Amino acid sequence: MLINCPYCGPRDVSEFTYQGDDNRVRPDQASTDQAAWNAYTYDRVNTMGDHKELWLHSGGCRAHLRVTRSTLTHAISSVAFVRDHGEKKSAARRKPGVRA
């Protein structure tokens, strides 16, 4: 299977590390809701068809990628940098002197 890294181009899957399912929503870090954390940790949806996944290009540019892959054919329909999807910035990445 080839993954087309947006930076490095097409590379063999052996250069990448699977990081997990990109469809799950993580509970708030301060949450003490045990049921929500159990669901996040253990519940998985076994979809047929397109599935969103997170991959790390560990043998290349070290970029985190969002990959949409068919679970039926393993064909990859899209690859993009995680940073290009409007992720919320952490406090550590804010400009100096800016307060929340």
pLDDT in tens, the chain (100 residues): 999 999 999 999 999 999 988 888 889 999 999 999 998 888 887 778 999 999 999 999 999 999 999 999 999 999 999 988 655 443 333 344 444 4
What is the pLDDT, as a whole number, of residue 21?
86
Sketch out the chain's domains with CATH numbers. Answer: 1-23+47-84 (3.30.2270.10)
Helix (H, G, I), strand (E, B) or coil at 25: coil
pTM: 0.72
Residue 50 tokens read as 């397109």
With residue 34 as reference, give the H or E element that holds it. Answer: helix 34-42
Name which of 43, 63, 62, 64 is nearest 53 in CA terms.
Answer: 64
The 8-class DSSP code of residue 10 comes to E
